[in-house]
Structure 1
Amino acid sequence: MDKQGTINVLKQADAVCLDVDSTVCEDEGIDALATYCGVGQQVKEWTNQAMGGSATFQESFEARLKIINPSCETVKKFLESHSPLLTPGVKEFVNLLRSKGCDVYLVSGGIMEIIEPVAALLDIPKENVFANRLKYFYSGEFAGFDKTCPTSRSGGKPVVVEKLKKQHGYQRLVMIGDGVTDMEACPPADAFIGFGVNVQRKAVKEKSKWFALSFQEIINVLKE
């Protein structure tokens, strides 16, 4: 499929799955949490390895969370002080998709507590959000993460997309994201749009049939 083929699928899409970190949002939620906890640089190196494809996602996610070691209270205070930084145009894009009768999902390798406020800003219902859940001991201290969440590992996003297609019968589902884990979701997604506004991953830029440099670019194509 070439770029025009990707555009044709998007124009007729019955569902769009959006990555969150560095796509819907300008930043990486886990990196922002790490910076808040004073371990930003160490964690960012792992993030780049995972998004660039040089480390498995689960390996990277586990390593980053061990460095951050976020207690329930720490996450709560972080959320109180950190408002989601939405990428320009994303709200208009989501609203445009909805006006066309297209369902919108957030499919993220990020942390559910950080993703939920983003979904709320975009009026995306909780059941349309797939992300990772942290676990805590009774004391509130960090106890790991739920490894049954498909997005906690490499190859997890295709699992979510496959599930959505089977559950809802979607015929034209599009995945949009900046990372290798997003690109891996096509197939089973019917088309993939690489997203390079906030960060440009070499592997994604080279292999995407359509590498978009703004949400406005996608909006303009949809309105043609």
Structure 2
Amino acid sequence: MARLVSARICPSQRFHVPLLPSVPPLRSHSAAGLGVGGPSFHGVKLSNLPGFVAAAGALEVPKRAPSSPASGNHLPSEEVIRTWCNADAVCFDVDSTVCLDEGIDELADFCGAGQAVAEWTAKAMTGSVPFEEALAARLSLFKPSLYQVEECMEKRPPRISPGITKLIKMLKAKNVDIYLVSGGFRQMFKPVASELGIPPENIYANQLLFGNSGEYVGFDPAEPTSRSGGKAIAVQHIRKKCGYKTVVMIGDGATDLEARQPGGANLFICYGGVQMREAVAGKADWVVSDFLELMAYLA
């Protein structure tokens, strides 16, 4: 087992734009400054770690999450299919989408505060409280040190969702650019991005900050993903910077839904293979419980 080491991670993606209004209705069918960086993960291949779920090779079909009876958008319209097939960039949420777990919940559980933090996570994902409030509240409950983050990553490595590796390979074969846009922490899923062949500059996520002795001192509030509406800002930035014509956002939470804004994502696909959040699914353009459903239209 390779030991995780502390090193400076890739720089955060920083940009400043005004906050956006609330998400419009969708179609029914449809710690550098402190001198201490986050941990890097040299020589650690996720598929060799205990508990890691690799989706390469033969595709393992996941167990389906219960479908939302109130959602009539499990069958995509022709317009939705056309948009999906013509995408030139796809932005994925990480927790409960690319990975089976909610990273902050796993870290909190490892540090002994799992239940209390999970309750806040549920509120954040349904949009019942501002994301920035939920993020600050959760971290204040256990204040993870750099050592605890590294140890958690070693003993509880991320579990990649079945089918995501093959889906990303299919998208890349069509020259579609892939991004990770997450309210989680880049320290925790940087190795996941590496395993999936996603470059560090295509990661938009939060950054934990640590003091000179590795003690927790907060998170970087300049990251747009640290607040409600932040994913919309990140996706708008990605689209404008690279000149993409069609961008798709895939995720399970309210913050992912928010990314479908003018100038941002053209299409929001709710992935319910891990958690089916009815409040989010009901407003999505397309609801899927298995990445095979997305692959079928790319073949």
TM-score w.r.t. structure 2 length? 0.73
Return the index of the structure with the highest Cα Rg: 2
Q: 1:208 and 2:284 equivalent?
A: yes
- Aligned identity (percent) is 47
How do 1:1-224 and structure 2 match up within 5 A?
1=27, 2=30, 3-4=76-77, 5-187=79-261, 188-223=264-299
Q: Which amino acid aligns with 2:187?
A: E
Shift of 1:204: 1.1
Distance 2:214 2:281 in 1: 41
Larger relative helix fraction? 1
Quote the RMSD (CA, aligned, Å).
Answer: 0.9
Shift of 1:100: 0.1
C-alpha contact 2:267 2:285 (8 A) present in aligned 1: no
Q: Which runs of 5+ in 2 are unaligned?
A: 1-26, 31-75
Distance 1:208 1:163 in 2: 22
- Runs of 4+ with deviation above 6 angstroms: none
C-alpha contact 2:206 2:226 (8 A) present in aligned 1: yes
Alpha-carbon displacement from aligned partner over 1:160-197 (angstroms, at most 9, x marks no partner)? 11111111000000000000100000022111101100
Distance 1:127 1:118 in 2: 14
Alpha-carbon displacement from aligned partner over 1:8-34 (angstroms, at most 9, x marks no partner)? 111011000000000001110000001
C-alpha contact 2:89 2:244 (8 A) present in aligned 1: yes
Q: Which amino acid aligns with 1:101?
A: N
TM-score w.r.t. structure 1 length? 0.97
Alpha-carbon displacement from aligned partner over 1:58-96 (angstroms, at most 9, x marks no partner)? 000001111121011111111111221011000000000
Shift of 1:209: 2.2
Shift of 1:117: 1.2
Shift of 1:45: 0.2
SS of match in other structure, 1:87:
coil
C-alpha contact 1:115 1:131 (8 A) present in aligned 2: no
Distance 1:6 1:41 in 2: 38
SS of match in other structure, 1:221:
coil
Distance 2:99 2:146 in 1: 23
